[in-house]
């Protein structure tokens, strides 16, 4: 879409014309070029008016590569009243802002300062119907640090899975305020308690087995393609962790993540970023070990392990292994695995039901035809129960307020399964009327 008060507008993608449109009062001087493939490179709009040509361009970034931090202050006074606003952004390997990047990011501070905001940001972009306000949609995003009142160097780091972390340093300067007119002495820290505040931080179990050990080394590999970087980082990890299970989905996911990160950062991986991603791997392996012990169909357990590998390792979502274990304990044993896909391939183990349907109501009906006879309340209970035990089911609710004020708001809830993912339909005794 291009808004313009010019006579005509031409759109170009990487220098190639995609047509010319005329903005006027009929389209509110806003023209839409349809069926345009947005590519890496440059989008440009060239307009003319009364013989004058003007243009504007937008550089579309490549893959996310690193985090950068900005702050207008490099120094602040070492007193409790001083704060600084730090802004984090995600850029590609060439330094271009990545539009729509909404990676979970983790903030950390060392030195004489504390975070005012939460330490972990997770995007609310898909939480359309949450009752709470939106905290973070996409990059760039800011946080606030506050001086503890002591001088020294403040070091702020922001990390995200698969990206080079960003850091920023601020000097907290010792000051001698003119307090000659104050009778009472300045209060000391002795006996003072931290002010309680609502926290957004997500905690892990304290004891997480170290399947891959941390490192103090910065990794630098010779220029290569993704396969070359994957082999190099795989060899490095195996050399330092000889008992590692290289066949696990978690290991394969981690290696793919590191290979992409090395591609985007010219073969360089600092120790902090290596350890940040490895900590997610170790946490995911702890969860995976518990999945193996469950009395559930193997295909569904494989799906759970893939889900956690993607969520924790690839996306960097914090998961408390204890909470996840409690959730999995709630899933009843047994059941039938259903997979929604188009066509007969890939093939699945015997006993798996294959369908092209994605509505959970239809999937349950395939397994238990009697489900169509359930009353509305029983159907909703069964859908809610099955939806909660399957991470690959998306639940959405849409509320429509009647235009007549005396009528109640109608809410429609849909349960949609993701194609190609194993969905477990529990035994009928768990969803019966």
**Is 159:106 a contact under the CB 8 Å cutoff?**
yes
pLDDT beyond 60 at 231: yes
Q: Rounded CA gap, 366 and 386, in Å?
A: 14
Q: Rounded CA gap, 16 and 46, in Å?
A: 12
Q: 79: which residues sit within 8 A by CB, 6+ positions away?
A: 147, 149, 175, 177
Mean pLDDT, the chain, whole residue set: 89
pLDDT beyond 80 at 70: yes
Neighbours of 308 (CB within 10 A): 25
pLDDT beyond 90 at 357: yes
Q: Rounded CA gap, 73 and 142, in Å?
A: 14
Element (H, E) at 164: none
Structure tokens at 108: 């950390």
Give whole-number Cα distances, 251 to 240, 243, 288, 322, in Å: 14, 12, 12, 21
**Is 339:420 a contact under the CB 8 Å cutoff?**
yes
**Is 259:226 a contact under the CB 8 Å cutoff?**
yes
Neighbours of 252 (CB within 10 A): 15
Q: What percent of the chain has pLDDT over 90?
A: 72
pTM comes to 0.82
Backbone φ, ψ for residue 368 (5° rounding) = -130, 90
Q: How far apart are the first and last CA of the chain?
A: 52
Backbone φ, ψ for residue 292 (5° rounding) = -60, -35
Q: What percent of the chain has pLDDT over 70?
A: 90
Q: Confidence class of residue 380 from pLDDT cuts 50, 70 and 90?
A: very high
pLDDT beyond 70 at 344: yes
Per-residue pLDDT reduced to its tens digit, 254-282: 999 999 999 999 999 999 999 999 999 99
Q: Rounded CA gap, 39 and 11, in Å?
A: 13
Per-residue pLDDT averaged across 289-307, rounded? 95
Burial of 274 (0-12, 13-18, 19+ CB in 10 A): buried
Instruction: Give the residue from 121, 138, 128 showing the smallest Cα distance to 395.
Output: 128
pLDDT beyond 60 at 134: no
Q: Confidence class of residue 388 from pLDDT cuts 50, 70 and 90?
A: very high
Q: Rounded CA gap, 188 and 79, in Å?
A: 12
Q: 23: which residues sit within 8 A by CB, 6+ positions away?
A: 2, 3, 4, 5, 6, 8, 9, 29, 30, 31
Backbone φ, ψ for residue 422 (5° rounding) = -75, 125
Beta strands in 160-246 (DSSP E): 166-173, 219-220
Residue 193 confidence (pLDDT): 79
Q: Confidence class of residue 396 from pLDDT cuts 50, 70 and 90?
A: confident
pLDDT beyond 70 at 367: yes
pLDDT beyond 60 at 403: no
């Amino acid at each position: 879409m291009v808004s313009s008060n010019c006579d005509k507008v031409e759109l170009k993608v990487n220098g190639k014309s995609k047509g010319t449109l005329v903005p006027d009062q009929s389209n509110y001087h806003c023209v839409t070029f349809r069926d345009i493939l947005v590519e890496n490179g440059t989008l440009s709009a060239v307009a003319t008016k009364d013989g004058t040509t003007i243009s504007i361009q937008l550089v579309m970034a490549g893959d996310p590569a690193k985090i950068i931090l900005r702050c207008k202050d490099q120094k602040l006074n070492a007193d409790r009243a001083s704060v600084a606003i730090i802004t984090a952004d995600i850029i590609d390997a060439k330094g271009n802002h990545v539009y729509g990047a909404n990676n979970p990011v983790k903030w950390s501070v060392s030195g004489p300062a504390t975070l005012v905001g939460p330490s972990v940001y997770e995007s609310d972009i898909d939480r359309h119907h949450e009752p709470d306000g939106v905290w973070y949609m996409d990059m760039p995003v800011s946080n606030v640090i506050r001086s503890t009142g002591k001088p020294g160097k403040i070091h702020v780091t922001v990390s995200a899975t698969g990206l080079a972390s960003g850091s920023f340093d601020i000097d907290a300067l010792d000051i001698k305020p003119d307090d000659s007119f104050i009778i009472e002495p300045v209060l000391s820290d002795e006996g003072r308690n931290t002010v309680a505040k609502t926290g957004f931080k997500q905690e892990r179990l304290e004891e997480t087995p170290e399947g891959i050990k941390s490192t103090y080394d910065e990794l630098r590999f010779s220029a290569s393609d993704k396969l070359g970087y994957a082999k190099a980082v795989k060899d490095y990890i195996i050399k330092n962790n000889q008992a590692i299970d290289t066949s696990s989905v978690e290991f394969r996911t981690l290696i793919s993540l590191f290979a992409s990160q090395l591609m985007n950062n010219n073969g360089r991986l600092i120790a902090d970023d290596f350890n940040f991603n490895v900590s997610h791997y170790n946490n995911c392996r702890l969860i995976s070990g518990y999945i193996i012990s469950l009395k559930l169909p193997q295909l569904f357990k494989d799906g759970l392990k893939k889900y956690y590998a993607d969520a924790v390792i690839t996306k960097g979502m914090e998961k408390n292994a204890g909470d996840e274990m409690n959730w999995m304990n709630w899933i009843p044993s047994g059941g039938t695995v259903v997979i929604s896909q188009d066509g007969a391939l890939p093939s699945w183990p015997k006993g798996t039901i294959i369908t092209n349907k994605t509505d959970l109501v239809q999937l349950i009906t395939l397994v238990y035809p009697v489900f169509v006879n359930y009353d509305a309340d029983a159907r909703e209970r069964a859908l809610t129960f099955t939806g909660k035990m399957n991470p690959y089911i998306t639940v959405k609710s849409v509320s429509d307020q009647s235009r007549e004020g005396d009528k109640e708001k109608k809410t429609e809830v849909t349960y949609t399964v993701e194609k190609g993912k194993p969905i477990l339909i529990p035994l009928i005794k768990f969803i019966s009327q």
